[in-house]
């Protein structure tokens, strides 16, 4: 089965096969968001801090260690994403690579249940490997997007997937929260056992809900380029030489590099920050549930708005919202404050990330989608190295993390300024021209 060419408007009557493929593609956001919410954002940061404190580390130092661990995983992802993307385009095996990394990530997540005592170095290694698998699977997942929709349909499909991600990640997070709060109701010994069972549930959830994508979404044709290691790095070098041709795509990458650094740091460091302020685990997870609940309708509202205004103005609006959130963190003192900021993040997070993804997809040459989404993933993750490092260093030097969160304002301001210089229409035209010159289409 071949999908409609993404360089043309979507047909009025979408075929049942394409409709099923789109639903299955969106469902992977439902699958992997459990790792993003329960592991990366909610349960593992305070769990890791407890292991570090048990090993004799101080409270602020434990928070800083978590920042360094997060930065290390992001750096590895940034280094591996582009070459793996090039190879996937050449061999036409994006789905196989997605399956491998999703499977590895789910197993590694379940192995986290074996951690305990003062094993923070082992926890750091296990989390780094699992988060690497998570991030690389998303590179190949997102590279399928340009083959499933075009034009404003890209915005709708991308935000729909984020909405499902909020729902799926939030649903399992609520269940995990119930286990942690009332372990006796579920036959569990204590909250520690509940946290470990949550790790297992995330791994299983991730694996099971990946299956529809592997079954329903067709593999786009390969780019036809040589696929060996030498050719892969030659292709990467050539891509850097073509940056001037893809001016607007390159500007978007640079903007995303900067502002996603701030977004990722807020998401990954929120519970560690709240834990340092003395906010209990119940409230930390509850606030993340609020983020998920608010994020579902917000994602769909932004999708509807994008059909009228396009993605770019709405991403800029979301970045303005993040600026206010970072400033608001200076005044965070109590659990209700944390809930308020969590709700605000829910309003803007899906819009900023989903619409950035669809905006990028509209400007990508489809025969090189995995390669360019490899750069997109690398941009987001490499950018995310700086934020946690700044956060961690500030936490150590200042003795608390409030100023670290507030310092993220610069990422949103600079990233937004770069985004104002992007011309989405010109970027899409350059991508379609490259496809024509390569003689490529989805029916190749």
The residue ranges of DSSP E strands in 7-128, in sequence order, are: none
Distance CA(187)–CA(153), nearest Å, equals: 47
Residue among 203, 261, 235 nearest 391 (CA): 261
pLDDT value for 10: 40
pLDDT value for 388: 66
In CATH terms, 16-438 corresponds, of 1.10.10.10, 1.20.1250.20, 2.60.40.2310, 3.30.1300.10, to: 1.20.1250.20
pLDDT value for 199: 97
Other C-beta atoms within 10 Å of 115: how many?
19
What would the two tokens of residue 154 be?
Answer: 């890209």
Mean pLDDT for each 10-residue chunk of the chain (444 residues)?
37 74 96 92 87 84 83 83 85 92 97 92 95 94 90 86 90 91 93 95 98 93 68 75 80 88 75 72 79 85 85 93 84 81 87 89 88 79 65 66 71 93 93 84 58
pLDDT value for 12: 42
What would the two tokens of residue 359 be?
Answer: 């905006």
Query: For 121-140, b where at least 16 C-beta lie within 10 A, e where not — what string?
Result: ebbbebbbbbbbbbbbbbbb
pTM: 0.81
Question: Tell me, what DSSP letter sits at residue 186?
Answer: G
Q: Indicate the domain borders of the chain.
A: 16-438
Q: With contact defined as beta carbons under 8 Å apart, do 301 and 424 qualify? A: no
Question: Tell me, what DSSP letter sits at residue 147?
Answer: G
């Amino acid at each position: 089965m071949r999908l409609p060419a993404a360089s043309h408007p979507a047909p009025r009557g979408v075929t049942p096969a394409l409709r099923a493929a789109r639903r299955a593609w969106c469902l992977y956001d439902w699958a992997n968001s459990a790792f993003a919410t329960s592991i990366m954002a909610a349960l593992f940061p305070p769990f890791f801090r407890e292991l570090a404190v048990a090993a004799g580390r101080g409270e602020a130092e434990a928070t800083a260690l978590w920042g360094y661990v997060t930065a290390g995983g992001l750096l590895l992802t940034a280094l591996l994403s582009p070459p793996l993307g090039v190879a996937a385009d050449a061999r036409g095996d994006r789905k196989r690579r997605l399956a491998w990394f999703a499977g590895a990530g789910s197993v590694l997540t379940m192995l986290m249940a074996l951690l305990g005592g003062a094993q923070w170095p082992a926890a750091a290694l296990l989390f780094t490997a699992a988060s690497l698998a998570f991030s690389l699977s998303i590179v190949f997942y997102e590279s399928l997007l340009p083959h499933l929709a075009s034009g404003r349909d890209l915005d709708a499909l991308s935000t729909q997937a984020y909405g499902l991600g909020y729902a799926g990640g939030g649903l399992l997070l609520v269940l995990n929260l119930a286990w942690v709060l009332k372990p006796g109701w579920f036959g569990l010994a204590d909250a520690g056992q509940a946290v470990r069972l949550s790790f297992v549930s995330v791994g299983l959830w991730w694996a099971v809900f990946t299956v529809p994508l592997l079954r329903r979404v067709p593999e786009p044709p390969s780019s036809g380029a040589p696929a060996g290691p030498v050719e892969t790095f030659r292709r990467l070098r050539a891509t850097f030489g073509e940056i001037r041709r893809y001016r607007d795509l390159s500007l978007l990458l640079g903007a995303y590099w900067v502002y996603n650094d701030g977004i990722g740091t807020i998401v990954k460091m929120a519970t560690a920050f709240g834990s340092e302020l003395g906010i209990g685990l119940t409230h930390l997870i509850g606030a993340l549930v609020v983020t998920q609940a608010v994020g579902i309708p917000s994602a769909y509202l932004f999708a509807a708005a994008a059909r009228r205004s396009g993605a770019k103005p709405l991403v800029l609006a979301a970045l303005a919202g993040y600026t206010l959130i970072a400033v608001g963190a200076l005044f965070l003192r109590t659990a209700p404050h944390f809930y308020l900021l969590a709700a605000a993040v829910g309003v803007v997070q899906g819009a900023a990330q989903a619409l950035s993804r669809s905006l990028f997809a509209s400007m990508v040459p489809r025969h090189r989608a995995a390669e360019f989404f490899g750069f997109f993933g690398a941009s987001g993750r490499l950018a995310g190295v700086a934020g946690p490092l700044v956060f961690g260093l500030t936490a150590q030097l200042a003795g608390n993390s409030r100023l670290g969160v507030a310092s993220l304002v610069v990422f949103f301001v600079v990233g937004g300024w770069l985004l104002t210089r992007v011309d989405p229409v010109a970027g899409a035209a350059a991508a379609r021209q490259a496809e024509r010159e390569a003689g490529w289409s989805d029916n190749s």
